[in-house]
């Protein structure tokens, strides 16, 4: 049985209106989502000792989410991840996007879906958010209607994405929550064990754009088919961290693709998806400069993301799963 409570999270500056919050509560999980960016601001779950802790990084107040931050908890769109050189061709026409990540366009541009206020609708077991992305928004073609629905059933949080466009356009939506199963504010995730059910991954260039082929994970640092302890794994392979897309077997029904386990607390996250890829990111760009919930700081590797999505730059790579 899920209880849904609606309240106010804060007021936007310049009289732009209020941001609402929605608390979804089951016997084992509590999740708070706000109407700005459909951001997951808190996710509380029990340890094996029955202790509730908040396991997502973020801010106590709206102000933190309005300022520049690394997409904590937010829905990303119109296209998650990177588009090479911020351009693509659809039906013979070239489109140009804002360049906001080295030479590339990242996470929908300067004002992506993460910075929009969405219209909420309370459901019996969750909340549905809706927005219309106008034709030409951030350079993308077509008016796009988008629905993002969060539902909670016991210990299972489901995010359902639906989009409808009046022109051919690339779309790839994801959620950018940063997790730390020891509890947000814990200094690192080195004691977490990770498993990703993927036989191949996408090698990238120095600007994080895929080279174009999927490479086998066998005998590489990217073979996470059996659980690895992150800290010792990074040391063993002299890796700075992960920020890579793993290639999944796409299916109509959600398939298991990833697990994170924290042995000291017993907390586990399992990810199931219908998407063809999952971006595993270990918070390599967190630098301790942001003050988060309860005055926590978030240094490098203090949170991880498991972002289910289409493959990066798929709109420019015909051999990748179709992004249109």
User: Which residues, including other chains, have CB under 8 Å from residue 265's CB and lie 6 or more apart?
Assistant: 47, 48, 49, 51, 53, 181, 182, 183
CA distance 120 to 291: 28
Dihedral of the alpha carbons of 310, 315, 318, 324, in degrees to the nearest 10: 80
Which residues lie across from 297 on neighbouring strands?
A: 291
| Closest C-alpha among 150, 155, 149 to residue 269 | 155
CA distance 260 to 279: 14
Known active-site residue 307: yes
137: helix, strand or coil: helix
Q: Which of 20, 137, 138, 307 is catalytic?
A: 307
Q: Which of 176, 192, 244, 301 is catalytic?
A: 176
- Provide the phi-psi class of 221: left if phi over 0, else alpha when psi is between -120 and 50, else beta: alpha
DSSP string computed for 233-294: HHHHTT----EEEEE----SS-EEEEEEEETTTTEEEEEEESSSEEEEE--TT--S-SB-GG
| Closest C-alpha among 33, 39, 127 to residue 75 | 39
CA distance 225 to 305: 17
H/E stretch holding 309 reads strand 305-309
CA distance 3 to 26: 7
Q: Known catalytic residues?
A: 176, 307
């Amino acid at each position: 049985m899920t209880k849904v409570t609606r309240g106010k999270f804060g007021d936007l500056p310049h009289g732009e209106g209020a941001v609402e919050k929605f608390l979804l509560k089951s016997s084992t999980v509590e999740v708070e989502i706000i109407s700005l960016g459909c951001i997951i601001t808190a996710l509380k779950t029990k340890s094996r000792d029955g202790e509730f802790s908040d396991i997502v990084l973020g801010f106590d107040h709206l102000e933190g989410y309005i300022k520049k931050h690394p997409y904590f908890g937010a829905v990303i769109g119109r296209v998650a991840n990177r588009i090479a050189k911020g351009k693509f061709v659809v039906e013979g026409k070239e489109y140009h996007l804002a360049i906001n990540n080295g030479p590339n366009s990242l996470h929908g541009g300067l004002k992506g879906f993460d910075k929009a206020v969405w219209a909420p609708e309370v459901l019996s077991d969750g909340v549905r958010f809706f927005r219309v992305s106008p034709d030409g928004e951030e350079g993308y073609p077509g008016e796009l209607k988008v629905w993002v629905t969060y539902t909670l059933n016991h210990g299972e949080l489901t995010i359902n994405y639906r989009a409808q466009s009046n022109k051919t356009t690339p779309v790839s939506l994801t959620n950018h929550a940063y997790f730390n199963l020891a509890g947000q504010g814990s200094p690192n995730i080195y004691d977490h064990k990770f498993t990703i059910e993927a036989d191949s991954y996408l090698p990238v260039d120095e600007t994080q754009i895929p080279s174009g082929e999927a490479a086998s994970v066998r005998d590489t640092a990217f073979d996470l088919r059996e659980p690895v302890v992150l800290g010792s794994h990074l040391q063993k392979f002299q890796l700075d961290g992960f920020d890579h897309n793993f290639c999944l077997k796409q299916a109509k029904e959600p398939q298991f693709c990833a697990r994170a386990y924290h042995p000291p607390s017993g907390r586990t996250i399992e990810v199931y998806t219908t998407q063809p890829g999952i971006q595993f990111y270990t918070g390599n760009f967190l630098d301790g400069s942001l003050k988060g919930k309860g005055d926590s700081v978030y240094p490098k590797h203090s949170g991880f993301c498991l972002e289910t999505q289409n493959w990066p730059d798929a709109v420019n790579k015909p051999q990748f799963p179709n992004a249109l």
